[in-house]
């Protein structure tokens, strides 16, 4: 008996695989992982940068609300605040590398805040005119070339010259080197004043146990000018924070002396060991105008001289107007000299206040 093999119909062979394929095709979407869209991944990558941008904007715009304790952190932040521009640059690079639209949009906040606070400092605020030029320079007590420093200062032809950080060894050197150009001078301790115009009413301003501030009246052709030369104590950043106690106490004594000052025109210049943005200097800056802020260009950083990162050498005015302000080329000191051209003939609001109190006894 012959057995005939069973042969499936061609259609049946095709139908079974076809049914399996369709079943697998229907089940595939249910087991495949869902991938986020490129735009979703970009938004998530930009969130940390966006958060940093918002926090930076709050610091720049609200720096006055930062508490000063512990460690005088508020003063430290305000001293370094202009350099937050570098943080903005870093955040911009991060947003660009991550290609995050969220981070890019958030960057608008710190840029606007920084521009609102510091944008005006980048412009040239000088104007023509002025009656005399004043220069202040911390000459560094360890200056290896005081004679060269004196020659450099003479070349700028200032009518009034203030020097800080004199030492027993260097003070006589400056006295001899400046004698021909500045016939009038007065110094005591570590600070001194040289002038082409006569000096009178010279005295020490007691802000520390040893002399760090002096005051004199300069008889200029445009009228009398009260000049204070100041060197406030140093500050440090250490484990306990921003140590400013000695400076702030001396500054308080200086501010009290200035409140009693009855001269119509007043200039205070020297090494303040603090920027005018530092809240600790407000007893002075609230009543006096910074020459650099009102008539300079840029931030006018002065220390350290090789690569200045902060302006701690100041020229402050009351009852007078600065027409221009600038930093001078480096000498052998670790500070840059600062200069200002001032106008004594234009009244300011402070001048009117002083006239009203001029007749009152001290």
Cα dist from 229 to 138, 163, 213, 244, 315, whole Å = 11, 8, 5, 20, 10
> Closest Cα partner for 191 from 173, 217, 171, 164?
164
Instruction: Indicate whether 11 pLDDT > 60.
Output: no
Compare 311 and 32 and report the one with higher pLDDT: 311
Q: How many CB atoms lie within 10 A of CB 222?
A: 15
Give the per-residue pLDDT at 356.
Answer: 34
Percent of the chain with pLDDT over 70: 84
Strand partners, 213: 230
Q: Please tell me whether the overall predicted TM-score, pTM, comes out greater than 0.95 for this model.
A: no
Give the per-residue pLDDT at 8.
Answer: 46
For the ranges 4-13, 87-96, 143-152, the lowest mean pLDDT is seen at 4-13
For the ranges 53-57, 124-128, 239-243, the lowest mean pLDDT is seen at 239-243
pLDDT, mean of residues 58-73:
94
C-alpha–C-alpha distance, residues 249 and 264, integer Å: 26
Give the per-residue pLDDT at 34.
Answer: 57
Query: H or E segment at 283?
Result: helix 282-285
Give the per-residue pLDDT at 37.
Answer: 56
Give the per-residue pLDDT at 3.
Answer: 47
pLDDT, mean of residues 304-310:
97
Tokens of 198: 């006569």
Give the per-residue pLDDT at 282.
Answer: 97
Question: Per residue in 166-177, pLDDT tens?
Answer: 999 999 999 999
Average pLDDT, the chain: 89
SS3 readout for 43-85: HHHHHHHHHHHHHHHHHHHCHHHCCCCCCCHHHHHHHHHHHHH
Cα dist from 46 to 57, 87, 95, 108, 361, whole Å = 16, 16, 7, 14, 65
Give the per-residue pLDDT at 44.
Answer: 73
C-alpha–C-alpha distance, residues 75 and 96, integer Å: 33
Query: H or E segment at 237?
Result: strand 236-238
Give the per-residue pLDDT at 160.
Answer: 98
Give the per-residue pLDDT at 38.
Answer: 56
Compare 59 and 33 and report the one with higher pLDDT: 59
Instruction: Indicate whether 14 pLDDT > 50.
Output: no
pLDDT, mean of residues 221-237:
97
Confidence band, pLDDT 50/70/90 cuts, at residue 340: very high
Instruction: Indicate whether 22 pLDDT > 80.
Output: no
Strand order across the beta sheet in which 313-318 lies? 199-204, 213-220, 223-231, 266-271, 313-318, 289-290
Give the per-residue pLDDT at 333.
Answer: 98
- The answer for residues whose C-beta is within 8 angstroms of residue 84's C-beta and 6 or more apart is 56, 59, 60, 110, 114
Give the per-residue pLDDT at 354.
Answer: 37
pLDDT, mean of residues 124-142:
97
Give the per-residue pLDDT at 91.
Answer: 97
Q: Is 27 helix (H, G, I), strand (E, B) or coil?
A: helix
Instruction: Indicate whether 94 pLDDT > 90.
Output: yes
Q: Provide the CB-side half-sphere exposure for 129 (13 A, CA).
A: 11
Give the per-residue pLDDT at 36.
Answer: 57
pLDDT, mean of residues 336-357:
70
b/e for 303-333, b at 16 or more Cβ within 10 A? bebeebebbbbbbbbbbbbbbbbbbbebbbb
Give the per-residue pLDDT at 240.
Answer: 87
Q: What are phi and psi of 150, to 5 degrees?
A: -60, -45
C-alpha–C-alpha distance, residues 221 and 270, integer Å: 24
C-alpha–C-alpha distance, residues 15 and 336, integer Å: 92
Instruction: Indicate whether 107 pLDDT > 70.
Output: yes
Q: How many CB atoms lie within 10 A of CB 110?
A: 25
Altogether, the residues listed in the chain come to a count of 362
pLDDT, mean of residues 273-294:
97
Give the per-residue pLDDT at 171.
Answer: 98
C-alpha–C-alpha distance, residues 300 and 313, integer Å: 9
Instruction: Indicate whether 161 pLDDT > 60.
Output: yes
- The DSSP annotation for 335-351 comes to S--EEEEEESSS--HHH
pLDDT, mean of residues 329-337:
98
Give the per-residue pLDDT at 353.
Answer: 40
Instruction: Indicate whether 220 pLDDT > 90.
Output: yes
Query: Taking the alpha carbons of 146, 149, 154, 159 in that order, is the dihedral positive or negative?
Result: negative
């Amino acid at each position: 008996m012959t057995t005939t093999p069973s042969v499936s119909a061609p259609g049946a062979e095709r139908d079974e695989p076809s049914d399996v394929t369709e079943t697998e095709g229907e089940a595939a979407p249910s087991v495949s992982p869902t991938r986020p869209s490129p735009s979703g991944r970009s938004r998530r990558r930009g969130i940390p940068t966006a958060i940093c941008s918002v926090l930076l904007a709050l610091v720049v715009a609200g720096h006055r609300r930062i508490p000063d304790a512990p460690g005088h952190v508020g003063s430290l932040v305000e001293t370094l605040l202009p350099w937050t521009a570098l943080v903005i640059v870093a955040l911009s690079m991060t947003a660009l590398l991550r290609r995050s639209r969220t981070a890019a949009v958030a960057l608008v906040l710190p840029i606007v805040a920084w521009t609102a606070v510091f944008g005006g400092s980048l412009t040239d605020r000088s104007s023509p005119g002025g009656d005399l030029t004043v220069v202040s320079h911390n000459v560094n007590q360890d200056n290896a070339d005081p004679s060269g420093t004196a020659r450099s200062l003479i070349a700028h032809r200032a009518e009034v010259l203030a020097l800080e950080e004199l030492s027993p060894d260097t003070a006589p050197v400056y006295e001899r080197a400046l004698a021909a150009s500045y016939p009038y001078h007065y110094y005591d301790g570590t600070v001194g004043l040289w002038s082409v115009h006569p000096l009178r009413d010279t005295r020490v301003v007691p802000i520390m146990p040893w002399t760090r501030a002096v005051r004199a009246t300069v008889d200029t052709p445009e009228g009398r000018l009260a000049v204070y030369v100041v060197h406030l104590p140093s500050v440090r950043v250490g484990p306990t924070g921003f140590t400013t106690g000695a400076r702030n106490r001396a500054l308080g004594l200086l501010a009290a002396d200035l409140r009693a000052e009855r001269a119509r025109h007043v200039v205070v210049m020297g090494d303040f060991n603090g920027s005018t943005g530092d809240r600790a200097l407000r007893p002075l800056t609230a009543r006096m105008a910074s020459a650099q802020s009102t008539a300079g260009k840029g931030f006018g950083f002065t220390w350290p001289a090789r690569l200045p990162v902060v302006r701690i050498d100041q020229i402050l005015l009351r009852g007078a107007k600065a027409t221009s302000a600038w930093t001078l080329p480096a000498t052998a000191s670790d500070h840059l000299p600062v200069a200002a051209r001032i106008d004594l003939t234009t009244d300011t609001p402070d001048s009117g206040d002083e006239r009203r109190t001029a007749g009152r006894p001290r």
